[in-house]
């Protein structure tokens, strides 16, 4: 099966839309193949502002119908306790909210951007999707992340080379309580580093310290701007560490 056939068989669907590479291409493909599709972006404390802006930008470029849902995931004690399966509980809350909104709009089918490169066995959130009967056309059609990037570039989508971005909650160690203050610090630090020019990096909490993880290609930039980085991140953390097990 390819996406053209999928949307011929499923001509009306709601889409959980993050503004990332995968859901962006899926929205484009649904519209290309004539499906009646509505995108739902869920705004929570776990998503940085730039993700919402990217989602809105792409929806505007495509002329897509998009709705922003605001959800307080921090009201769940299970989520804020940050257990190993936090993602399952969070996804269950988020996708249930999308399903309810989609149902009110007359949609019975909900899609997400999981692709064929994603390891279902290693992602607690996948269990929530299965329980809620969410379908993943990219995965069903065997499309991998590199293929989706290539197709996105050919389609002229600005998201084609966007780095993968896990939610802000992943910066807090499992078992450590998640708070709005910790998430806000993380977003502020990462937003500044992104403006500096870093790509595909993380600022993880290690105790009260910030542990900066970057690609090996970005190490020279980090060292060149060491003093500026330390000065800025010290506004949010008492100690700044550089992880030498770099991201590739």
How far is it, in rounded angstroms, from Cα 197 to Cα 243?
18
Q: Let me know whether 130 and 195 are in one domain.
A: no
Average pLDDT over residues 151-179: 95
Contacts 24+ apart (CB under 8 A), 53-57: 53/19, 54/19, 54/20, 54/159, 54/162, 55/17, 55/18, 55/19, 56/19, 57/19, 57/158
Q: Let me know whether 7 and 60 are in one domain.
A: yes
Residue 20, SS3?
coil
67 assigned to some structural domain: yes
170 assigned to some structural domain: no
| Per-residue pLDDT tens over the stretch 45-68 | 999 999 999 999 999 999 999 999
171 assigned to some structural domain: no
How far is it, in rounded angstroms, from Cα 145 to Cα 115?
7
| Per-residue pLDDT tens over the stretch 8-38 | 999 999 999 999 999 999 999 999 999 999 9
Q: Let me know whether 53 and 144 are in one domain.
A: yes
Question: Over 80: is that where the pLDDT of 121 sits?
Answer: no
Q: Show the domain range for 187.
A: 179-242
Domain count, the chain: 2
**Tokens 């701007």 -> residue:** 225
Q: Let me know whether 128 and 194 are in one domain.
A: no
pLDDT level of residue 248 (50, 70, 90 thresholds): low
pLDDT value of position 126: 85
Q: Is the dihedral of CA 233, 184, 78, 87 positive or negative?
A: negative
Q: Let me know whether 34 and 89 are in one domain.
A: yes
| Per-residue pLDDT tens over the stretch 171-222 | 999 999 999 999 999 999 999 999 999 988 999 999 989 999 999 999 999 9
């Amino acid at each position: 099966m390819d996406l053209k056939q999928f949307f011929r068989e499923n001509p009306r669907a709601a889409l959980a839309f993050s503004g990332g590479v995968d859901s962006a291409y899926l929205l484009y493909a649904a519209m290309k193949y004539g499906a009646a599709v509505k995108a739902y972006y869920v705004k929570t404390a776990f998503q940085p502002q730039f993700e919402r802006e990217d989602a809105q930008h792409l929806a505007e470029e495509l002329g897509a119908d998009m709705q922003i849902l605001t959800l307080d995931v921090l009201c769940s004690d299970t989520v804020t306790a940050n257990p190993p399966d936090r993602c399952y509980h969070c996804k269950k809350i988020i996708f249930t909210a999308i399903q309810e909104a989609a149902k009110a709009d007359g949609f019975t089918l909900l899609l997400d951007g999981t692709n064929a490169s994603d390891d279902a066995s290693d992602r607690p959130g996948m269990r929530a999707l299965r329980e809620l009967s969410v379908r993943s056309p990219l995965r069903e059609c065997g499309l991998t992340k590199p293929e989706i990037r290539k197709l996105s570039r050919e389609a002229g989508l600005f998201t084609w080379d966007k780095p993968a971005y896990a939610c802000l909650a992943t910066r807090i160690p499992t078992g450590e309580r998640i708070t709005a203050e910790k998430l806000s610090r993380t977003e502020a630090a990462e937003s500044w580093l992104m403006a500096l020019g870093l790509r595909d990096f993380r600022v993880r909490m290690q105790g009260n310290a910030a542990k900066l993880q970057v690609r090996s290609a970005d190490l020279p930039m980090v060292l060149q701007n060491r003093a500026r980085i330390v000065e800025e991140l010290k506004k949010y953390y008492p100690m700044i560490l550089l992880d030498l097990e770099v991201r590739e």
